[in-house]
């Protein structure tokens, strides 16, 4: 009986190992195309397919022009994911354009469902990510450079040049998800109790409340 249990455990381990690659990104597609029907009332893990598909469903001009960086971060992300580009539904890919004013920042954040890789269109950026061992990997990158941020790790970009900067980002998910660390902690609804954040950051409640007021 013990040997049978051992064989069963080994078989389960093999199945999980073989399944791991498919679990790393979006689920595999089951048909050639499935353009998202964003208006469907059906709720499921992803989006249902729309009935009438044309070539126009597979093209997007979202990333052609610079975005408006007039905001507190001095940077803006323009997404071409399934929510704005339904043709990528079930394909496991999406893109974005990120524009930065001088000194602009895409603040520390994570993508819970994707690895990100960026290509610099113009400008000089300091980029980096932090591992779960709290080790920072950071570089200064310029036009033509490519940098990759491993899936789910906290990462950031900041314009270190004197002029505007821009990158094109690609993701191995149709909807990568984004969780900005500061906004998540200090701008949540309902709010995270101030005493919890105060203890975590080793400050008093007044400091936390002052930061919350900015979000």
Residue 162 labeled ligand binder: no
Query: Distance from first CA to last CA of the chain, Å, rounded?
Result: 60
- Read off the DSSP letter of residue 191: P
Q: Which segments of the chain are extended strands (E)?
A: 75-80, 94-100, 105-110, 116-122, 124-130, 136-142, 146-149, 154-159, 165-171, 179-180
Residue 109 labeled ligand binder: yes
Residue 116 labeled ligand binder: yes
- Read off the DSSP letter of residue 182: H
Residue 111 labeled ligand binder: yes
Q: How many CB atoms lie within 10 A of CB 93?
A: 17
Residues within the annotated binding site for oxalate?
Answer: 106, 111, 116
Residues within the annotated binding site?
Answer: 106, 109, 111, 116, 155
Residues within the annotated binding site for Mn(2+)?
Answer: 109, 111, 116, 155
């Amino acid at each position: 009986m013990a040997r049978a249990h051992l064989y069963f455990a080994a078989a389960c381990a093999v199945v999980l190992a073989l399944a791991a690659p498919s679990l790393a990104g979006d689920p595999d597609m089951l048909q050639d195309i499935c353009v998202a029907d964003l208006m469907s009332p059906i709720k499921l893990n992803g989006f249902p397919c729309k009935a009438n598909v044309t070539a126009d469903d597979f093209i997007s001009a979202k990333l052609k022009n610079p975005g408006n960086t007039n905001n507190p971060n001095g940077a803006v992300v323009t997404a071409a994911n399934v929510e704005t580009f339904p043709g990528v539904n079930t394909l496991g890919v999406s893109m974005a354009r990120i524009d930065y004013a001088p000194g602009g920042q895409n603040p520390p954040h994570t993508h819970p469902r994707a690895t990100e890789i960026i290509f610099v269109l113009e400008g000089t950026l300091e980029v980096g990510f932090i591992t779960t061992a709290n080790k920072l990997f950071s570089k200064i990158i310029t036009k033509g450079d490519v940098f990759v941020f491993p899936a789910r790790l906290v990462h950031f970009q900041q314009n270190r040049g004197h002029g505007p900067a821009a990158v094109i980002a690609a993701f191995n998910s149709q909807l990568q998800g984004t969780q900005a660390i500061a906004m998540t902690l200090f701008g949540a609804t309902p709010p995270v109790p101030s005493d919890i954040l105060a203890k975590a950051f080793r400050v008093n409640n007044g400091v936390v409340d002052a930061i919350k007021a900015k979000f």
